[in-house]
Amino acid sequence: AQTVTQSQPEMSVQEAETVTLSCTYDTSESDYYLFWYKQPPSRQMILVIRQEAYKQQNATENRFSVNFQKAAKSFSLKISDSQLGDAAMYFCAYQETSGSRLTFGEGTQLTVNP
Amino acid sequence: DTEVTQTPKHLVMGMTNKKSLKCEQHMGHRAMYWYKQKAKKPPELMFVYSYEKLSINESVPSRFSPECPNSSLLNLHLHALQPEDSALYLCASSQGVAGNRETQYFGPGTRLLVL
């Protein structure tokens, strides 16, 4: 079974600084999808960024970018120019291409300090 | 537009009550999902509907009964719940269940309290 590990239960960053959240996963598949979801205090799960395993180029969405290391099974999220609104629980998630089941990590609670 | 709506936002019910949660999307998505999420934990998959048919039931107790009347609407009927069923119930949808159409978009959730 696939597993997703987020080793940092909590992280903090100063406003306008950069922070990196780590995620590792275990799979025997060669093609799959990886996601970062954000869950602010409002509790809505918001898609931050998506990476397809067959694409070598790292995904980027505005201030959010990933460092995808397929051989190392690592998928970290970098948030640049952190804003107060970035404060949330961040979940890394894995999904096979042949199925719909998302496997989530335990989450990283990010605090942004003014 | 990637909007999934859920009603009600909050629900308090007794253990003998019957209630329903509703989820709606108008993005033309053909797969819909129910998740249960406890505080400070990741969501746990409960059910998946694909093309209005139940495709995954993660061994959920029968006191939770899903229903998909049409491709835009997903209900979760609740009956004889236990206090440990108190949680945030999240609905999600995706365009399909295969290939690159699987990205799931979540609704805001229904916070359920069972007394």
Task: For residue B55, give the H/E element and its range.
Answer: strand B53-57
pLDDT at B89: 98
CB contact under 8 A, A43 and B92: no
Average pLDDT over residues A11-40: 95
Residue that wins the pLDDT comparison between A30 and A63:
A63
Write out residues 15-54 of A within 8 Å (CB-CB) of B.
33, 35, 37, 42-47, 50, 52
Q: How far is CA A79 from the centre of its chain?
A: 10
3-state secondary structure chain A: CCEEECCCCEEEEECCCCEEECCEEECCCCCEEEEEEEECCCCCCEEEEEEECCCCCCCEECCEEEEEECCCCEEEEEECCCCHHHCEEEEEEEEECCCCCEEECCCEEEEEEC
pLDDT at B103: 87
Buried b (16+ CB within 10 A) or exposed e, A50-83: bbebeeeeebeeeebbbebeeeebebbbbbeebe
pLDDT at A45: 94
- Average model confidence (pLDDT) for chain A? 94
Separation between Cα atoms, residue A60 and residue B80, nearest integer Å? 46
Separation between Cα atoms, residue B34 and residue A79, nearest integer Å? 29
pLDDT at B100: 55
> Each residue of B26-55: pLDDT tens digit?
999 999 999 999 999 999 999 999 989 999
pLDDT at A96: 85
Write out residues 39-68 of B within 8 Å (CB-CB) of A.
40-43, 45, 48, 50, 55-56
CB contact under 8 A, A91 and B42: yes
> Is the pLDDT at B98 greater than 70, yes or no?
no
Phi, psi of B13 (to 5 degrees): -145, 155
CB contact under 8 A, B106 and A99: no
User: Pairing relation of β-strands A10-14 and A108-113?
Assistant: parallel
Q: Which residues of B touch A43 (CB under 8 A)?
A: 37, 88, 108-109, 111
> Each residue of A44-98: pLDDT tens digit?
899 999 999 988 899 999 999 999 999 999 999 999 999 999 999 999 999 987 7
